[in-house]
Structure 1
Amino acid sequence: MSQSVNSKPSVKASRRQFIAAGALASVVLAEDAVWSQTKAPTANKPMLSLAGYAYDRVLGLVDGRVPVKGFQTNFDQADIYTLNANAMGGKQTWSVQEIGLHPYMLAYANDMFRDYALVPVFPLRMFRHRSIFIRTDRGIKTPADLRGKTVATPGYSQSSLTWIRGFLQHEYGVLPEDMKWIVTTKSSDQGAVSKNESVLPQDVPIVPGPAGQDESDLLRSGDVDAVFHALEPKAYIDGDPNVERLFGDYRKIERDYFTKTGIFPIMHAVAIRRDVVKRFPQLPVAVFNAYSQAKHLMYSNLQKQTAFMMSLPWAGKELEETLDLMGENFWPYGIKPNRKALEALFLYSFEQGLSKKQLTIEELFFPTTLELEEAKL
């Protein structure tokens, strides 16, 4: 009997400004589920429902140009708030899905969460020097000036915030306990902060934010000196004259950071339900290869589009400089090219008092994916 999957309704994506809404990859497998009335499974191939964002690097999966070997595919779209909640506290609708890397780490280390494991595919990664916003009237000119200041943030243990505190400590000598923290219960992008984005350490001065106020409200009113946030707070977007980035030329600072450390910070990974892999042991490798192939399509399209399809006048120059600095495969998958970044985040999480133990790559990733390498460009 052909296997089928239950088609779930799409989830409205959040207005996150640093990512385009869309559907990435995830898998739902259910032997007794009913597939969409408009699409029937092909004989001998199980249906896979994929969920996440439609980044350019996964569009080949979204539009069907790239298959997951051995499976048919369908795509749902969901924002990271929904994806995290679904996997770590919800219905676990998807068998393969994008997931916040650090929230997953905390669920694994602190809550014995074992329902999913990872494949070394990283749909979202971002340098985070750009994510520190300051009041211009508080004398903050350098990272050292953050000592003694009050910082607001939604979701203290988000991936982005853990990276920020990590580079402040290791590159500038500014420790989390050097600052006072206000953790808000809401974000100015209206996103919901999950349990595993709200883990708080001991021995760091942290208080909850006022009811009904987000991080942007506190920055605009002057109740805090700075905001650390993955997204641009609304006060900054609105052009408040008292709000600026700490690192004005963040592009240069971030490029210098990569040159020095070789780290391209990872925010999200791809997770697969362990019970599904028991039924389909080939799935982790098939998913890795499909994401890699989709990304290679992005590289090819990027080369073509910068010439005449993009509206940015110097997009081609930006691509050239990225290739010069980071190499042809500047968005790498696999353990080997990402080991340093992964182990840095494991260290930051543990030394910041968030993870109860310092995790290892071998714990979190499917064994069949540890030695996988991408095909050459």
Structure 2
Amino acid sequence: MTSDPKRLRTLLGDHPGTAALKSGQLVSDRVALEFAAYSPTNKGFKPMVREQAFDVSEMAIVTYLMARDHGKPMVLLPATVMGRFQHSYALYHAERGPLTPADLPGKRVGIRSFTTTTGAWVRGMLAGDYGVDLDRIKWITFEDPHVAEYEDTTERAPVGKNIIQMLLDGELDAVVGEVSSDPRLKPLFADPEAEARAWYAKHGVVPINHVVVVSEALNDSDPDAVREVYRLLKQSKALAAPSQPEATPFGIAAMRPSLQLIIDYAAQQDLISRRFTVDELFSDLTRSLS
């Protein structure tokens, strides 16, 4: 008699690499992924970190690093579901005069939460590639960190305020982590595509944004289910059109350069208390997956 598949509470967004899984094109007789509805997907990260709301969850990599730093019972899979160059995700109001990365010290910069992964990548680029003193920027935030234990010392925007509207109104000098079709708003990095190409030539990685984690309980109690989840994720990615350069690497070796860089950035920005090694982000089980 065949047993029913193990039902797993799952948070996964709509990405090319997850499409075959979410559409039902891929199924398993070992596990059944029950997808939670969160839009945008990042709204589900806080309940995963704080309540372990899912067995399998998409997760921003910086949120995972911070959760790992505070002992949250989650385990990283060597699976990336979203990666992207970040240079397009910083804007300023061009009608108020030119602004470049070098001009940011002393300015008011809005960001949804100080601990967003896009924010960590952009700040790392500003400091490492443009020589910007991050401590001289006045950060204005709109949301709490996903990890409650992190002490956020940034200035909070007034309740009800919209980040783009504040930029348009001159209450902010720039914003990070946002895009807009408003013609008055221009990219802080003057030619984002060219600067991304130069950054890739220098660092050799596409910044990882979102990965997949499993609960520590699932990792410890049912290793075969974890292996099956990873197999499904890998198969779903294989059915998507490949990206050049690779934006959603699988396997520790392929993910290592990007993970090492974001660990460095997160430590430099005091988002985590120490620099983890890449290998300690995984369990013995998930480290063995390939």
* TM-score, length of structure 2 as denominator length: 0.89
In 2 relative to 1, CA 177–201 (structure 1 residues): closer, same or farther, beyond 3 Å?
farther
Higher relative contact order (CA 8 A, sep 6+): 2
Q: Does 1:255 align with 2:197?
A: yes
Cα-to-partner distance string for 1:241-287 (whole Å, 9 max, x where unaligned): 2x211234322221221122112111111111111222211233322
* Structure-1 separation of matches of 2:210 and 2:258: 12
The sequence identity of aligned pairs, in percent, is: 24
* Structure-2 separation of matches of 1:371 and 1:69: 22
**Would you say the 8 A contact 1:151–1:225 is kept in 2?**
yes
What's the CA shift for 1:371? 4.8
Alignment RMSD (CA, Å)? 2.5
Q: Which stretch has the larger CA shift, 56-65 or 124-133?
A: 56-65
**Would you say the 8 A contact 1:69–1:286 is kept in 2?**
no
* SS of corresponding position for 1:112: coil
| Aligned residue identity for 2:50 | G
Structure 2 match to 1:167 = 125
**Would you say the 8 A contact 2:111–2:142 is kept in 1?**
yes
* SS of corresponding position for 1:129: coil
* SS of corresponding position for 2:208: coil
> Greater share of strand residues, 1 or 2?
2
Structure 2, unaligned stretches of length 5 or more? none
Cα-to-partner distance string for 1:65-92 (whole Å, 9 max, x where unaligned): 33457323443332433321221123x3
| Aligned residue identity for 1:211 | V
Query: How do 1:22-33 and structure 2 match up within 5 A?
Result: none
* Structure-1 separation of matches of 2:148 and 2:205: 22
* Aligned mate of 2:251, from 326, 334, 342: 334
Query: How do 1:1-377 and structure 2 match up within 5 A?
Result: 43=3, 45-68=5-28, 70-78=30-38, 79-90=40-51, 92-109=52-69, 111-113=70-72, 115-185=73-143, 193-196=144-147, 199=150, 206-229=154-177, 231-232=178-179, 236-237=180-181, 239=182, 241=184, 243-299=185-241, 323=244, 326=245, 330-373=247-290
Structure 1, unaligned stretches of length 5 or more? 3-41, 186-192, 303-321
* TM-score, length of structure 1 as denominator length: 0.69
What's the CA shift for 1:138? 5.0
* SS of corresponding position for 1:99: strand
In 2 relative to 1, CA 153–93 (structure 1 residues): closer, same or farther, beyond 3 Å?
closer
In 2 relative to 1, CA 127–69 (structure 1 residues): closer, same or farther, beyond 3 Å?
farther
* Structure-2 separation of matches of 1:60 and 1:199: 36
**Would you say the 8 A contact 1:102–1:158 is kept in 2?**
yes
In 2 relative to 1, CA 45–209 (structure 1 residues): closer, same or farther, beyond 3 Å?
closer
4+ runs deviating over 4 angstroms: 197-202
* SS of corresponding position for 1:212: coil
